[in-house]
Structure 1
């Protein structure tokens, strides 16, 4: 039989070619006239249906309450087969053709295919992970782990060993780094340390190695993914990490050893940023970031790891530009903050600038203003367009001293007006990236005072999470606007801001939304199932938005929030529908928690 549906997509793409061939031979084409009841509540399902043509509606047994509708290539009712009975009624709204896989054949297929069985018996997060892995060409690097093939054995010296002996050992062992054991402490000394201390510093061949060793070691665990090791090296600006197993050091992992075996561009971009001598050099490095995102997305890098890496590179890009523009005295006298998604560490493709600045002394304002204009222009050159709402450090509204910012925060919270609440929300996501971070600490502490977080203030702060309707119809289907859906308004913003509002109420320090959810779970504000569901939904929104942004391309693809629903596969539409229902339920929780029905 020639099939009129595509089985080479999830979930059936989890099957082998032999299993697909077996499945194809067991599918029967069945017809239902308009209005026909396909399955009744309590009925034992004859099998699983895959729609070829038409629309099927899922309702209660009276047909009055509609749960959802199914269209081409959608699957129903798996649950009835697995649980031995239909919980709802299914009716054809128009003439409908379906492929039927009989229940016994479906169960046999689940027994034969572990992946298919997991997919139909798991949650949204696991389904999403399985689909992503199936979709993407996962590179050898992404799947490889830290093991004996990539680590070097540790060579130790005592703290009293002189530098001459250390250099000899490095030459003999062909190691560029040795570990220094000082009782319970373990440090590291590298070939670069030797050169700097002797040729550029005042150390001699007889100097003890403990005088130049570094004892703040960064480590990864044996068996961890190589990508995580690379991420740590990038974040800490280092070229090697210690490897531990069961808490004990078993060796060293060198960047050059990884790069000689595997190919990746992230560390190269990081090095270009650090070595940049001009803003022009930084512009060149910044232009590589979008290609890096596309490459790593295609290679199957997890969304959270991708966000962490790009956030690290973006912040180093801004920091290096700051160093090139600001003289040393003024670097210590200010603190540059990134706000919004960049502050939360949730930005991947570049979006509009959201930033602010803290001045240690008001009298530095005149000296700082022209430098901020230069930094603003640098950000434009890097590909960050100006913020339409003017949330940028070149505007007076986002420049102030510590006392000025504390007063501004109080005015926002006392006002209660929507614009003031959104300004507070933007500022609550602030993260220092340049200058003196200690300038920010008293400001952040100011809005965590209990007197400023009264219940009515928290409720007003939370209310914007409800300003956009969840794009679901009364039938529970995805609601489109000419085939498009604004995923930020419909899914991301209400989830991010709702979590932010709960974090504000609880004086939670974390900025990242996923970390805020973890803290809320620890405090008992959400249970484990709800917390995981919210994280799964948000990660799905980020992933599906990024996929379409990269496919769309053009200038500033990161600014696009529109999903083209027509381009989504059945499995993606189904996961999107489930994720949006999570958002809808979360908004109902916010209404109840903050008593927003009174506002």
Structure 2
């Protein structure tokens, strides 16, 4: 064996899991490798590429991102990539490119397959990436179609212009038009406004079954004021909406203009996913116990999503959507048991659920916004029982009661609109410590059930008040700076001292939370309505309250921290351990530790900039 091959063999002997193989096997691998040099910026794999190699980084660094640009991994010396591409019908799912000048060893796919078959330690090591060691609800090694549905816009799925008639048109005219245009529904419009929908199901159930004549006007048999979706929404959201409302036709709008109609046929072509099936199952349950049984599949779903290459942003959206579905179903069951609500209300989520950033079952944060027609004497008993049913139901489902009592079943967080406005006004005008703590919770608020107009009547004036109060923003900024990233003076990682989590990194309170806090302050300064942290950072850059570079750096840091945190939690799920946010540094590669330091440095830099903006003194 020549000197170069010996050097490669010896390098592999120091790389896990190849270090578990006999020296003669390593020699055979060395002879099978191809060598490639990639300049910084060189694309190595792009979605749709035919995967032909397992890549091993000899020197340099490589970055992998999903099709939407979310960071999935950074890889350094001795680390491998391309495994999922090899196992996904030989097609790459993500982008991988060199971020430094890199020397790569390429092991041909067929040789890698033989190596896994012949050596269990190799197959065991790579199993989490190909589905062998982490049982998944989706086929091993294949991306969960939910990820694709989240990236496809509804407008791209519209195959034709909407087929419409006026409400005065007869059933016969509608049936003929449906036959001639080969569609299964008619969108009913009046003065260019959507007022109803008439489907083949309506023709069967409301016309034929009831013996109505063919001249019956559509206004009598159509479904009035149908739910719709914006053309810019994702196909995933459309599928969830259709499942939630048990409908097969979904009108699509561009603002106030009718753009078309989405059908279950359109979506079936993209394949419904496990997450959507779970949402559908939740809406079928009649008890909280039944919903708890459905949600028991959540850990496996999270494992499947992470194994499929999902980013923390995608996982958070999907998991929080399941929480929304559970909440909505419990709201409907409470109304079924107690009767219709005496006044309109909005059930709103706070915290990570509101931000679409949940990664697992957690405690609940919610509140109730009541119409100003609410009267305590007349309506108090109903809403006390109503909110207790929903909050206790969530607890039975696995969402523990909030230790701080921030729940709709607590009287202070079940208020009419005018009282909510006064409450927010007080927090903004007199931002003492408790007010700042509560503002951090309730400025991350999102409606889950109830009329959007009622929620908007609270959100719009409150955001305007916060945007106009520089003093409130400054105090919120000071409060945000209390969460410091775990980075010492010489860029050493600062670990938890004492207790059961000693010598670990708290990736939630010292990693993710500081970025959430930064995004919230900048969003308040700009009057941004978004509550998801990634969406807030993007919107703040567009609004000018945060530099484009600063927002991009924070989004990348959040994505990387989220990736490390999710992977840690999936390993705990796999090992049957309780899920937490405390990561041991020695469980990370040297490259990952270096990039954690980079992420924390970004947060420190942006915290310093925030302190300077609001003149908070030395930071």
TM-score using structure 2 length: 0.66
Does 1:269 pair with 2:278?
yes
Count of matched residue positions in the alignment of Structure 1 and Structure 2: 498
Q: Distance in 2 between matches of 1:303 and 1:411?
A: 35
Q: CA deviation at 1:426?
A: 0.5
1:448 is paired with a residue whose SS is: helix
Assess if the C-alpha contact under 8 Å between 1:74 and 1:570 holds in 2. no
Does 1:475 pair with 2:490?
yes
Q: 2:566 aligns with which of 533, 541, 546?
A: 546
Q: 2:507 aligns with which of 487, 503, 511?
A: 487
1:330 is paired with a residue whose SS is: coil
Q: Distance in 2 between matches of 1:554 and 1:388?
A: 28
Between 1:151-160 and 1:404-413, the stretch displaced more is 151-160
The structure-2 alpha-carbon separation of the partners of 1:228 and 1:398, relative to structure 1 and needing over 3 Å to count, comes to closer
Can you list the C-alpha shifts for 1:358-382, whole angstroms capped at 9, x where unaligned? 3433332233223322222101111
Between 1:258-267 and 1:373-382, the stretch displaced more is 258-267
Does 1:565 pair with 2:585?
yes
Q: Distance in 2 between matches of 1:490 and 1:20?
A: 45
Which residue pairs with 2:481 in the alignment?
466
Q: 1:403 aligns with which of 414, 418, 421?
A: 418
The structure-2 alpha-carbon separation of the partners of 1:559 and 1:356, relative to structure 1 and needing over 3 Å to count, comes to farther
The structure-2 alpha-carbon separation of the partners of 1:230 and 1:7, relative to structure 1 and needing over 3 Å to count, comes to farther
The structure-2 alpha-carbon separation of the partners of 1:229 and 1:320, relative to structure 1 and needing over 3 Å to count, comes to closer
Which residue pairs with 1:285 in the alignment?
294
Q: CA deviation at 1:579?
A: 1.7
The structure-2 alpha-carbon separation of the partners of 1:207 and 1:409, relative to structure 1 and needing over 3 Å to count, comes to same
Q: CA deviation at 1:494?
A: 1.0
Which residue pairs with 1:576 in the alignment?
596
Which residue pairs with 2:215 in the alignment?
206
The structure-2 alpha-carbon separation of the partners of 1:519 and 1:438, relative to structure 1 and needing over 3 Å to count, comes to same
Which residue pairs with 2:541 in the alignment?
521
Which residue pairs with 1:373 in the alignment?
388
Which residue pairs with 2:123 in the alignment?
none
Q: CA deviation at 1:520?
A: 1.5
The structure-2 alpha-carbon separation of the partners of 1:557 and 1:173, relative to structure 1 and needing over 3 Å to count, comes to farther
Q: CA deviation at 1:117?
A: 4.5
Q: Distance in 1 between matches of 2:153 and 2:99?
A: 29
Which residue pairs with 2:375 in the alignment?
361
Which residue pairs with 1:54 in the alignment?
none
Q: Distance in 2 between matches of 1:140 and 1:185?
A: 37
Q: 2:328 aligns with which of 319, 326, 334?
A: 319
2:341 is paired with a residue whose SS is: helix
Which residue pairs with 1:22 in the alignment?
34
The structure-2 alpha-carbon separation of the partners of 1:558 and 1:397, relative to structure 1 and needing over 3 Å to count, comes to farther
The structure-2 alpha-carbon separation of the partners of 1:225 and 1:427, relative to structure 1 and needing over 3 Å to count, comes to closer
1:370 is paired with a residue whose SS is: helix
Q: Distance in 1 between matches of 2:217 and 2:441?
A: 51
Q: CA deviation at 1:558?
A: 8.6
Does 1:197 pair with 2:174?
no
1:476 is paired with a residue whose SS is: coil
Which residue pairs with 2:13 in the alignment?
4
Q: 1:587 aligns with which of 598, 607, 610?
A: 607
Can you list the C-alpha shifts for 1:73-93, whole angstroms capped at 9, x where unaligned? 9987779xxxxxxxxxxxxxx
Q: CA deviation at 1:21?
A: 1.5
Output aligned runs, 1:388-537, within 5 Å.
388-450=403-465, 453-481=468-496, 482-537=502-557
Q: What RMSD over aligned residues (CA atoms) do the two structures have, in Å?
A: 4.7
1:337 is paired with a residue whose SS is: strand
Which residue pairs with 2:143 in the alignment?
139
Q: Distance in 2 between matches of 1:78 and 1:256?
A: 44
Output aligned runs, 1:323-338, within 5 Å.
323-326=332-335, 327-330=338-341, 332-338=343-349
Q: CA deviation at 1:341?
A: 1.2
Q: Distance in 2 between matches of 1:568 and 1:494?
A: 21
Output aligned runs, 1:45-64, within 5 Å.
none
Q: CA deviation at 1:352?
A: 0.9
Q: CA deviation at 1:195?
A: 3.2
Assess if the C-alpha contact under 8 Å between 2:320 and 2:358 holds in 1. yes
Assess if the C-alpha contact under 8 Å between 1:276 and 1:282 holds in 2. yes
Q: CA deviation at 1:296?
A: 2.8
Assess if the C-alpha contact under 8 Å between 2:231 and 2:259 holds in 1. no
Q: CA deviation at 1:357?
A: 2.2
Between 1:491-500 and 1:543-552, the stretch displaced more is 543-552
2:33 is paired with a residue whose SS is: helix
Can you list the C-alpha shifts for 1:531-588, whole angstroms capped at 9, x where unaligned? 1121122122223222222321299989622223332234433332222221111111
1:376 is paired with a residue whose SS is: helix
Which residue pairs with 1:307 in the alignment?
316
Q: CA deviation at 1:436?
A: 4.6
1:447 is paired with a residue whose SS is: helix
Assess if the C-alpha contact under 8 Å between 1:351 and 1:558 holds in 2. no
Which residue pairs with 2:87 in the alignment?
none
Q: Distance in 1 between matches of 2:144 and 2:567?
A: 22
Which residue pairs with 1:120 in the alignment?
100
